[in-house]
Amino acid sequence: MKVASITPSKDVNSASEIKKNVRKNMAMKSKKPGTISVEMDEQDFGCLCTCAIRYCMGRETYMPSLIRDAVRPLLPKIGDKALSVMIADCGRQREYNDYGSETIDKPGWVKWEQELWAERDRRKTDG
């Protein structure tokens, strides 16, 4: 078995540099007692929301509705790429018929996919 050695280029950051940049770019602020505000860039925010939605797909618990309800008002803040990924994820779940319970979970996911498409259409219309 041949083992290759890789030397990081100057463009590759060390783990400590990455952590420092994350701390610098994502600041947590408390606006009032009991609330937390997190500042992050659009790509990181979209990734966070996509991961939360993916975690919930196919689960037969309260979590899917809780996460969809939390992300729904934030859809306008999510980037186009993350929105497209969420739409594609919903399409795959629908193809696999893996939305969870037909009567409990599926209606919420069908509505969610329609809301994602509506947001995408709104962006096309608004420019």
Query: Please, which pLDDT band fits residue 33 given cuts at 50, 70 and 90?
Result: confident
Helices (H), the chain: 15-25, 42-56, 63-71, 80-96, 106-126
Q: How confident is the model at residue 14 (pLDDT cuts 50, 70, 90)?
A: low
Task: State mean pLDDT over 111-123.
Answer: 97
Instruction: From 1, 105, 26, 23, select the one nearest 60 (Cα to Cα).
Output: 105
Per-residue pLDDT reduced to its tens digit, 63-76: 999 999 999 999 99
Three-class DSSP category at 13: coil
